[in-house]
Structure 1
Amino acid sequence: MPLLFKRSLLPKLRSFALTPEAVSIVSSAAEFRRCLLAKIAAATQRIYIVALYLQQDEAGQEILDALHAAKLKRPELEIAVVVDWLRAQRGLIGAGKQPGNAAWYQDMTRTHQSEVPIYGVPVQTRELFGVLHLKGFVIDDSVVYSGASLNNVYLHKFDKYRFDRYHVLQNQALADSMHHLVKHGLIESKAVHRLDLPNLPSTRSLRNDIGDLRSRLKYATYDTSAGSTAREGLSVSPLLGVGKNNPLNRAILELIASAQQQLTICTPYFNLPLGVIREINRALARGVKIDIVVGDKTANDFYIPPSEPFKVIAALPYLYEISLRRFAKRHQRNIDSGQLNLHLWRDGDNTYHLKGMWVDQRYTLLTGNNLNPRAFRLDLENALLIDDPKGEWLEPRAQELENIFRHTTRIDSFHTLETLPDYPAGVAKFLKRVSRVRIERLLYRIL
């Protein structure tokens, strides 16, 4: 790999060796739910669930019931659920005043004989400026990794699903490393409290502890001392990042900079950071073929049909489409030549939540990072970088990409994307107002 950065990070990463059989890809949200429930039921040592949220709905209840059942069956099991502190204490956006999931957690603890502690991690004092966006469930010596949170749509409990990526890695060293960071780097912090117990402290009273936690997280890393810097075969490196210029951000930029033949990027919200756009432009100049897969605006999880009353949040998918159209217009020549391929994902009324990158025939990045300014500056993010220098894992990798592309349509021209006059009246009115007061750039940085 060419060293295109003065202080290159990728060659220094310590990784854990894998066999191709140790990495399996789950193809759908429904299969992911079944896989997760089966692994919880079979666990004998530990279950650490880390997600943005565990929702009070049928799928969330199924997961929490399974955790309590596992604890009753094996009292020695070490179980912890870790979610975002602020997200757990508010209702759904646009649904009016609600008690949030924390009230449900407390009710479950009160009515069950088994104990499943649920911890809230406050990454910031306000949700707008940063949330817990870590991914990965540690179950015994395996890591179940997905960008999905836990609710009906992410787990395809009923008729609709939210499409994501789902991987299971069987590796004790990786599981130990991720378990150690959550237990000692998060749960043991003074800022972190159990949400399933009553009398929660106010976020304001935790302000100093939250500041201390965020400061320490800026320098935190996964313990990879059991790994190696040798690149002798298939391996995986865990990455952590929060704030500007963190190691995960640097790795993402270096991966794009390392591409020589092929680069594929998935993101649900097309709002790329300037650093990512810069490296994409350089890759195009090098002759790299690039595929970018984004969700159609109707497949965005913030999309609200025009037939329903307008809410400000409903403008987000249109903002992302505006950003995509500008990008396509700037690169129309590359689109015409086939070097740049922009793909819109859409499958009925289902939604799209994929993130990650595939670089040449070597690197595969699993992550919950949305590749947007918020992920690069505000949220606590992580990723697993799979390195395959000998091409031992190419077939499953290709099958995952084929599954992703199944419901996509290539954008032949920026003209095919709608513009402001085509948008619903409420959306168009709001976006005109935003443009007039010049806060559009601020919105792109925090949403």
Structure 2
Amino acid sequence: MRIAMIGTGYVGLVSGACFSDFGHEVVCVDRDAGKIARLNQGEVPIFEPGLEALIAKNTSAGRLSFTTELAAAVDGADAVFIAVGTPTRRGDGHADLTYVMAAAAEIGRALTGYAVVVTKSTVPVGTNRKVAAAIREANPAAAFDVASNPEFLREGAAIDDFMHPDRVVVGVETPKARKVMAELYRPLSLREFPMVYTGLESAELIKYAANAFLATKITFINEIAALCEKVGADVKTVARGIGMDGRIGDKFLHAGPGYGGSCFPKDTKALARIGQEHAAPIQIVETVIKVNEEVKRRMIDKIVDLCGGVLRDKTIAVLGVTFKPNTDDMREAPSLTIIPALVGGGAKVRVSDPQGRHEGEALLPGVKWIDNPYQAANDADLVVLLTEWNEFRGLDLAKLARKMATPQMADLRNIYDPAEVRAAGFTAYVGVGR
């Protein structure tokens, strides 16, 4: 089948490459001519394990291409995916649909035959009907159906998530649209991955509800971690104990500096706003948003306490700034709250991250970037583990301690055993909920 993928951000690029690997002919569209030029030269603008090789394989096979010409890509397409950004709108916390609606109108003007217009972007309930209205307004004679097909891709594991999904959610209203969507995902249904067909509103809400629930699990265990510190319990043991309950599960029960990234912050805010607008406030989600910000501030307090209450002139090595490992994404990362507070307090901050420097240099002024974690810790008063990259899971702790002026560790991801850290020569160790 022929697919036009509008938007070459994280979702569009990964989805387009994976669909082309299914054997479909995919054209990815973006207005950024420079970005398209780089993609056509084989340069991938985001870091995602395996993506560069997948794009190279399918462009070489002639199944995947990139263009700035939306009309040419849409002409003759069986499905047109909208995969543009829906950032949080300033002022009210709602999802900004500017890019979605602009794409819908442009698609409407470009349609020459029947196509299913599929919203892949994360959008509030009712958006797909607005997309349909925008297409009809732009082209009253257009033959099309709309579908909602939310993505559930984890950054750092997106290709595997697309190829081996827990489920594929498809919101459709006509047999014709369902048939097109079924054909697009045929390689997955043949391998018996679950396909959930539902209405438009349910599909839209599934995405928000899923992310909000996961964000709630993270925030819940962070609140339990704070209680553990007060009563002398270990949050890792508590999380393991409750995670063994099949009704709860062990995923997303890792205490840390709070959630970040491209999805959880904006989707929780959008869902809270949707509830308020429909007079059905989701108070749990509203509290999750509030507590997540408090968690980040608690992390700052831990660091200040290790510095004896004074940050000025302290040398602090921060290992990891991306919101999670295996990505270069800095959006809403805890580091963007924690590190500026350290710099603002007068600390000399050195940063080491395998992929974070490209975005981080502009977002974190006043820090010194060092590639090697041991060099970052040289003569430091404190090392802070902020992102659990594999490179930071296997550090030579004794070597790290020897390099530091004052061997102290704030392990904000609970990577290391406290006794192991102290045995390696560290004089102080602080984790989360321990």
Structures share fold, TM-score greater than 0.5: no
Higher normalized helix content (fraction of residues): 2
The normalised TM-score by structure 2 is: 0.30
The normalised TM-score by structure 1 is: 0.29
Higher normalized strand content (fraction of residues): 1
